[in-house]
């Protein structure tokens, strides 16, 4: 008995810890992330076709909140919406405004894969990648304003305009660096694991859509470039977390929502 206890203790001491991830350089407060996200989301929703179906809405909100509850760091007032667009894509604005195209539902085999995409997007919010990129752009353009006071005399709207942060292709808010992608992959995997989902599902889904559509064929990869060695770095993280033991892959709710969306 005693030796089992000691070897267990040794195993715990020797097990590598999960990768710790924190937001990088940022000129904004977390509250300003929410203001920026809200402002850009109002513009986005004029251009996107949001699916207004109560069953779809309650499903995506329940799933999103369950995942967000497992995310570390600042807690944002998340909002989850499904967009009537068959392109395989999803995006998150600062402060927690998430949009998931129906194309993700059409192509995901199970709930864990959808949860993987959402956990990856939630990680971009938690790690504040959008306003990190905005901060870098702003500091490069207006170094004196930055020195004079965080945003100088600029309003949020002024800073958005100055840095080209909007809901548009190539916006600094929506196209992430490979390093940001690597971080969102690792944190997304941690969130999946902590929520009881198969932690391999996120990377499996990205591999699947990349194999089917090619890395340039899917809009998802122009916004979220493949950081390289995705599967192996995710697998290393899963080993640090303790492996994929009895993970949840699917739900009858997911398959029901998938059928509802097919009929739309």
Give the distance from CA 254 to its chain's centroid: 19
Taking CB atoms, the residue at the shortest distance from Zn ion is 224
**Nearest CB to Zn ion, comparing residues 102 and 224:** 224
CB 99 within 8 A of CB 107: no
**Nearest CB to Zn ion, comparing residues 200 and 224:** 224
**Nearest CB to Zn ion, comparing residues 33 and 181:** 181
Between CA 163 and CA 140 the distance in angstroms is 10
Smallest distance from the beta carbon of 123 to Zn ion, in angstroms? 8
Q: Report if residue 129 touches Zn ion, rule: CB under 5 A.
A: no
Pick the stretch among 52-60, 103-111, 161-169, 222-230 that binds Zn ion (CB under 5 A).
Answer: 222-230
Smallest distance from the beta carbon of 133 to Zn ion, in angstroms? 12
Look at residue 182 and give its three-state secondary structure: helix
In degrees, to the nearest 5, what angle opens at C-alpha 166 toward C-alphas 164 and 168?
A: 100
Between CA 142 and CA 127 the distance in angstroms is 24
**Nearest CB to Zn ion, comparing residues 88 and 184:** 184
β-sheet bridge partners, residue 97: 79, 93
Pick the stretch among 43-51, 131-139, 159-167, 220-228 that binds Zn ion (CB under 5 A).
Answer: 220-228
Q: Report if residue 224 touches Zn ion, rule: CB under 5 A.
A: yes
**Nearest CB to Zn ion, comparing residues 184 and 201:** 184
β-sheet bridge partners, residue 198: none
Residues 169-208 contacting Zn ion, CB under 5 A: 181, 184
| Residue 92, phi then psi, degrees to nearest 5 | -130, 135
Q: For the purposes of burial, counting CB atoms within 10 Å of the CB of 84, is it exposed (0-12), middle (13-18) or buried (19 or more)?
A: middle
Smallest distance from the beta carbon of 253 to Zn ion, in angstroms? 25
**Nearest CB to Zn ion, comparing residues 56 and 125:** 125
Smallest distance from the beta carbon of 242 to Zn ion, in angstroms? 25
Smallest distance from the beta carbon of 120 to Zn ion, in angstroms? 5
Distances (CA, A) of 211 to 6, 164, 219, 233, 258: 46, 33, 14, 18, 22
Q: Report if residue 102 touches Zn ion, rule: CB under 5 A.
A: no
End-to-end CA distance of the chain: give it in Å, rounded: 61
Smallest distance from the beta carbon of 5 to Zn ion, in angstroms? 43
Size of the residue set binding Zn ion (CB under 5 A): 3
**Nearest CB to Zn ion, comparing residues 85 and 250:** 85
**Nearest CB to Zn ion, comparing residues 226 and 235:** 226
Distances (CA, A) of 177 to 88, 113, 205, 252: 19, 22, 20, 36
Give the footprint of Zn ion on this chain (CB under 5 A): 181, 184, 224
């Amino acid at each position: 008995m005693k030796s089992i206890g000691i070897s267990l203790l040794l195993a715990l001491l020797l097990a590598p810890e999960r990768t710790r991830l924190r937001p990088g350089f940022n000129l904004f407060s977390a509250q300003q992330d929410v203001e920026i996200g809200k402002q850009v989301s109002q513009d986005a929703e004029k251009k996107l076709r949001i699916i207004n179906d109560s069953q779809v809405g309650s499903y995506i909100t329940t799933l999103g909140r369950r995942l967000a509850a497992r995310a570390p760091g600042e807690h944002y007032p998340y909002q989850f919406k499904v967009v009537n667009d068959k392109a395989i894509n999803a995006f998150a604005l600062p402060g927690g405004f998430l949009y998931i195209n129906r194309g993700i539902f059409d192509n995901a085999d199970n709930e864990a894969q959808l949860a993987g995409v959402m956990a990856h997007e939630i990680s971009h919010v938690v790690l504040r990648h959008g306003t990190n990129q905005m901060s870098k752009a702003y500091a490069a353009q207006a170094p004196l304003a930055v020195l004079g006071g965080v945003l100088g005399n600029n309003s949020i709207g002024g800073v958005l305009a100055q840095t080209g942060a909007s809901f548009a292709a190539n916006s600094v808010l929506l196209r992430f660096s490979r390093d940001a992608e690597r971080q969102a992959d690792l944190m997304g995997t941690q969130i999946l694991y902590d929520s009881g989902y198969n932690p391999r599902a996120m990377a499996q889904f990205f591999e699947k859509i990349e194999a089917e559509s090619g890395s340039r064929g899917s809009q998802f990869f122009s916004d979220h470039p493949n950081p390289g060695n995705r599967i192996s770095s995710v697998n290393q993280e899963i080993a640090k977390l303790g492996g994929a033991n009895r993970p949840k892959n699917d739900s009858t709710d997911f398959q029901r929502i998938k059928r509802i969306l097919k009929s739309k």
